[in-house]
Each structure stands twice: as C-alpha cells, then as structure tokens.
Chains A and B, each alone.
Chain A
Amino acid sequence: MSGPLITAHQLVKRFGDFTAVAGIDVEVRKGEVFGFLGPNGAGKSSTMRMIACVSPVTSGELRLFGLDPATHGSQIRGRIGVVPQMDTLDTELTVEENLRIYGRFFDLPRAECRRRSAELLEFAQLTERASSVVENLSGGMKRRLSIARSLINEPELLLLDEPTTGLDPQARHVLWDRLYRLKQQGVTLVLTTHYMDEAEQLCDRLVVMDQGRIVAEGSPRSLIEQHSTREVLELRFAAGTNESFEAQVAGLGDRHEVLPDRILIYADDGEGALAAAHARGLQPESALVRRASLEDVFLHLTGRTLVD
C-alpha cells in the first residue's frame, strides 16, 4: 500500500460547547515517525483518541488504512497498537500474563501469544521480571510493558500518547532507544509530546498544535530554520528585573522574547550578540548561547512556553 496510513481532513472534536480539535488536516505516511507537539490542552490527546478509534469524530473526515473508524473501528484497531497516556495495565496480574491476555483480546492462538510475549519481554528488557506482579514495577518498567503490550498484534501503526511523561531522564532514554528500534523495523509511529527534546529526537515530521489548531508543520530542523534564528542568547538578570531590561536589549538580535525568568535574544551569531550586549554595558547574572530548539519555534508561534 503506497497511500498515506492516516488522513484527516478538517477534523473536529467537540465536547459540548468546548472545541478540543478545531479542524485539522494531517497526513501520516508509512514508516515515518510523526509527532503532535503542543502544551497540555492543545487537543493532542483528543486527536489521538479519534485516530485510535475510541472517540467518535464530531465532523470532518478521518481515514486509517483508507477505512472509516465509524464503520470499521474494530478492524482498524486490530491493525494498530495504542500506548495510552495513563497505563491501563492489569496491575494484579504478572508482566507475562498482561502480554498473553492482550494477545487473546486480538484472538491470537495461545501458542502464538506465548511466542510473542517471550519476544516482547526481551524487547522491553523485562524477561527477568516476567513473573513479577505489575503493581511492583517501576514507572519506567510499566511504560515499557505498555509499549510491549501494544505490539502484541504486530501493529502496522503504533500510537503513543505522551510516552515518557513522568519518567526520569534515564528511563526516558531507554524508552527512546526502544522506539528508535521500532522505527528501524519499519513500524509507523505517531506520538504526542509536550517535550521538545523528545520531538526533536524521534520525529521525522511533526505538527505544532495550539488551542485545537495546527500552527506549523514540518521536520524539526525545517521548523527551526523557518521560525527561529540559528542560535539563541539567553540572558538572566536579577529575579524580577528582566522586564526592565527590555528596551536595552532591543536590536541585539533579529528579535527578542522577555520571559519571567530570562530574556531570549534570537541571533544567528549568539556570541556576537553577547559581545554587543556587553558593549552596551549590560551585566546579566548569567548568559548562555545555545542552538535554537522547537521550544523557540513554539514560543514564536504562540507567544507561550510549552511546559509551564
């Protein structure tokens, strides 16, 4: 099949008077890692639930594998894997039982469930914990088990809603590594995140969502090139005084943003901008030159930071 795996056209989701998704157009192609980036409440999870065929579309058109979720929900779900934001593991069952029973939900023969759970335990680095009750696992292990479980039906498409929220940095890196392996195996991944580093690390292409709309679309690199300078100079002045320096930093770079805790100056040459600041007699408590990130893209597009 060469057509897109997912197509959404003017997709809308309303809950009563509240519009969670306000008419988005998305196309996800086979084999790519596609991300929905945005702050909490941007409509990412509502979009994901519609794609996962567990939330009826209010209006617009949605197709997965060319099928309509409203009429072919069960068939579509049989071909996808879902890692929800909140774990839905059976905490009183063992790790292995969780995998096998999930295979049974897809009506896989028992022997096949056994074979695949052994493989997936290996993949999720949980073989030694196979007979542990899930309740006793760490957050990172539970997340890995959730991913392993979502792969039991060998899905063509894997949906991950905030896969690493609440995990410590080490657990996140282990998880990213597993997701990267899946990508190499040709599984199409669609994920939501409010972590820009996650989006940059994993996604081939992403859309930035804000208040139910898509505000930008492209690869992480192209988005940064399009919406930001190459480098960013971060200046921190004494707490609470950042705003008073706004006039003095004007013109140091292409543009600037004053945040409560720091001032961002967008310039292709960060060091040059810092030298210019010093030449103006500015003496920040700290100064840092870094590469521009998706966070800057988001800030530029919406005037807000991703993680409050």
Chain B
Amino acid sequence: MSTHRLATPGAFRVLTWHLVAYKRFWKANVLSSVVQPLLYMLGLGVGVGALVDSNTGSSDVLGGASYVAFVAPGLLVTTAMALGAMESMWPVMGGLRWSRGYHGIIATSLTPRDIVLGHGVWMVVRCGLASAAVAVALACFAETRSWGLAPGVVISVWVGLAFAMPIMAFSVNAEMDGSFAAVQRFVVIPLFLFGGAFYPLTQLPAAVAWVARATPLWHGVVTARQFTQGTVVWAAVLGHLAFIGLWVVGGTLVAERRMRKKLYQ
C-alpha cells in the first residue's frame, strides 16, 4: 500500500457506505422525484393557478408573477426539506438500534463525528439529486423555466441540511420511532403548508408568520424565489443563507455530541 496516499476524510468513507446501499434504489427514487413535482405542477397550475390568476389583485400579492411561477421555488425547497427530515429519522434510528450499522462503523478507525458529517454529506447528495430532479420537471414548463432554478437547487440543499442535521440530533435520542410521525405531523407538514411555499406570509396572521420566519424553510423559499423571479438582492440572500446556516451548524454540533454520548457508552 502506498504510504503517500492522502487519507480519505472519514465523512466520505461513510458516504461510500450510504452510496452502496442506495445503488439499488436510486433510479426509482430519482424518477419519483421528477414525477411528483410534475403532478404538483399540473394540479396546481391547471386548478389552483387558473383560479388565483383570474383573481384581480393576486398579481400584486405574488410580486407580479403567475401562481405557478410563484410556487415553483416553493416546490423545489420543500422537496429538500421533506427528504432531509425523513432521511434523518428512521435511518438514524436504524443505524443505532435496528441494523446497528453505526456500531459497526465505530468499531473501525472511524468516529461518531465521521458518522454525523458523513450523514451531512450524504444529505447533500440526496437533496441535491431530488432538487435537481424537481428543477428538471419545472424546466419543462415555460412559466417556471428559468436559470434561477440552478441556484435554487443549491439553496434547497442548504435548507435540506438545515432540517436533516437538527432532526438527526433529535433522532439519536428518540426513544421510539412513533415520535417521528409527530415530527412529520407537527413540523414538516405544517411548514409545508404555512412556510411561505404556496402563498406569501402576508396572508397569515402575524404571529403565525413570525413562527414561519424563524424556521429555515421560509428563508430558503424567499431566497430561491429571488433567483427564479430575477429579483436578487445580494445582501438579503446572504442574510437568509446565514440564518439557514445557523440551523445547519447548530444541528450538526448537537448531533455530534449526542452521537458520541450514545455510541461511546
């Protein structure tokens, strides 16, 4: 063995593990990532969109865009949120308790930190693939086709991480997988509905709107929207991304600490 070879960072060795397991599912997985937004686009565009766009005054609220154009970045970012959240619940509990794969990993030269960072890198790959698939679907329609979809994918991935890492921290200490259904019901779905993806927060009561503003989803949606609608304000973009970053970094730190405590007993 060459002694001059640079060591592969632990997170990327863990990524390989995820990739080997994913090899069997990725085609079906990516395909459904394209089909689902296509269905949304048809449903929302033909149904809700027609209704909204025929309503005089809606254009002012939506910043001059058609309804589907307004919703497009919402679809992009909520996809990454839902995926990042889901993939950081059952699979994390599985690694700790069911298949116990994490215990196998820490028996090697790898550490709990590598598991957490590896999960993060893996979420970048998964959310990237899923968001790119949504972007491809959105590019099929004239109204939603825009170069802004490319930075939109990057923002989606960032939002995906902002959910994945704190939820991973939650899952490490979760006692039963029943609590994951609660996360879906009381965090992911409400944010999907009230997080600014389908209508501006100005439509909501002020208190609810502020809750939405505290979560990474809304920041991601409005930033991605600036790119798809060509209304980029760089200072705002940086501010939003930094806010989302707080969730990513905070979640990662807590997840790492909890993972170490859990695995090194």
Does A77 contact B108, Cβ atoms closer than 8 Å?
A: yes
Q: In angstroms, how far is the closest chain A Cβ from the Cβ of B19?
A: 9
Any A CB within 8 A of the CB of B106:
yes
Residue of B nearest to A13 (CB): B265
Any B CB within 8 A of the CB of A55:
yes
Which of A85-93, A120-128, A193-201, A269-277 is the interface stretch? A85-93
Any A CB within 8 A of the CB of B111:
yes
Any A CB within 8 A of the CB of B13:
yes
Contacts of B5 in A (CB 8 A): 109
Any A CB within 8 A of the CB of B21:
yes
Contacts of B108 in A (CB 8 A): 77-78, 102, 105-106, 153
Contacts of B106 in A (CB 8 A): 54, 77
Does A105 contact B17, Cβ atoms closer than 8 Å?
A: yes
Any B CB within 8 A of the CB of A225:
no
Residue of A nearest to B263 (CB): A54
Any A CB within 8 A of the CB of B101:
yes
Any B CB within 8 A of the CB of A56:
yes
Contacts of B17 in A (CB 8 A): 90, 101, 104-105
Given contacts A82-B107, A88-B99, 16 further A-B contacts (CB under 8 A): A52-B107, A54-B103, A55-B264, A78-B108, A78-B109, A87-B100, A90-B99, A90-B101, A92-B21, A101-B16, A102-B108, A104-B8, A104-B17, A105-B17, A106-B109, A107-B13
> When A and B form their complex, which 5 residue pairs have the shortest distance between CB atoms, in order from nearest?
A88-B104, A78-B109, A105-B108, A82-B107, A88-B100
Any B CB within 8 A of the CB of A231:
no
Any A CB within 8 A of the CB of B65:
no
Once the chains are docked, how many angstroms separate the CA of A213 from the CA of B1? Answer: 43
Chain B stretch 4-24: residues in CB contact (< 8 A) with chain A = 5, 7-8, 13-14, 16-17, 20-21, 24
Once the chains are docked, how many angstroms separate the CA of A49 from the CA of B263? Answer: 11
Assess A74 versus B109: contact at CB under 8 Å? Given A15-B265, A54-B264, A109-B1. Answer: yes
List the interface of chain B (C-beta within 8 A of A): 1-2, 5, 7-8, 13-14, 16-17, 20-21, 24, 99-101, 103-111, 263-265
Contacts of B24 in A (CB 8 A): 92
Residue of A nearest to B18 (CB): A101
If over half of B's interface residues share one DSSP class (helix, strand or loop), that class is named, otherwise mixed; here it is loop
Assess A84 versus B103: contact at CB under 8 Å? Given A54-B263, A107-B7. Answer: yes
Q: In angstroms, how far is the closest chain A Cβ from the Cβ of B229?
A: 43
Residue of A nearest to B8 (CB): A107
Does A105 contact B103, Cβ atoms closer than 8 Å?
A: no
Does B13 contact A104, Cβ atoms closer than 8 Å?
A: yes
Any B CB within 8 A of the CB of A108:
yes
Contacts of A84 in B (CB 8 A): 103-104, 107
Q: In angstroms, how far is the closest chain B Cβ from the Cβ of A106?
A: 6
Assess A86 versus B100: contact at CB under 8 Å? Given A75-B109, A101-B16, A104-B17. Answer: yes
Chain A stretch 26-77: residues in CB contact (< 8 A) with chain B = 49, 52, 54-56, 73-75, 77
Any B CB within 8 A of the CB of A162:
no
Contacts of B265 in A (CB 8 A): 15, 49, 55
Once the chains are docked, how many angstroms separate the CA of A106 from the CA of B265? Answer: 22
Contacts of B101 in A (CB 8 A): 88, 90
Assess A90 versus B21: contact at CB under 8 Å? Given A55-B265, A74-B109. Answer: yes
Other-chain contact of A91, B1, B2, B99 (Cβ < 8 Å): B99
Once the chains are docked, how many angstroms separate the CA of A101 from the CA of B111? Answer: 16
Other-chain contact of B264, A56, A102, A104 (Cβ < 8 Å): A56
Assess A105 versus B7: contact at CB under 8 Å? Given A55-B265, A74-B111, A92-B21. Answer: no
Q: In angstroms, how far is the closest chain B Cβ from the Cβ of A87?
A: 8
Does A112 contact B104, Cβ atoms closer than 8 Å?
A: no
Does A88 contact B107, Cβ atoms closer than 8 Å?
A: yes
Q: In angstroms, how far is the closest chain B Cβ from the Cβ of A201?
A: 25
The contact sample of 12 A-B pairs, CB cut-off 8 A, is: A52-B107, A54-B103, A55-B264, A77-B106, A84-B103, A89-B99, A91-B99, A92-B24, A92-B99, A105-B14, A105-B109, A107-B13
Other-chain contact of A105, B1, B13, B264 (Cβ < 8 Å): B13
Any B CB within 8 A of the CB of A295:
no
Other-chain contact of A77, B14, B109, B263 (Cβ < 8 Å): B109
Q: In angstroms, how far is the closest chain A Cβ from the Cβ of B23?
A: 9
Q: In angstroms, how far is the closest chain A Cβ from the Cβ of B154?
A: 28
Does A77 contact B107, Cβ atoms closer than 8 Å?
A: yes
Residue of B nearest to A52 (CB): B107
A 112-141 binary contact with B (CB < 8 Å = 1; else 0): 100000000000000000000000000000
Does A112 contact B109, Cβ atoms closer than 8 Å?
A: no
Contacts of B99 in A (CB 8 A): 88-92
Once the chains are docked, how many angstroms separate the CA of A55 from the CA of B261? Answer: 10
Contacts of B1 in A (CB 8 A): 108-109, 112
Contacts of A74 in B (CB 8 A): 109-111
Once the chains are docked, how many angstroms separate the CA of A56 from the CA of B262? Answer: 12
Does B16 contact A104, Cβ atoms closer than 8 Å?
A: yes
Once the chains are docked, how many angstroms separate the CA of A34 from the CA of B2? Answer: 34
Once the chains are docked, how many angstroms separate the CA of A6 from the CA of B158? Answer: 46
Any B CB within 8 A of the CB of A296:
no
Does A89 contact B16, Cβ atoms closer than 8 Å?
A: no
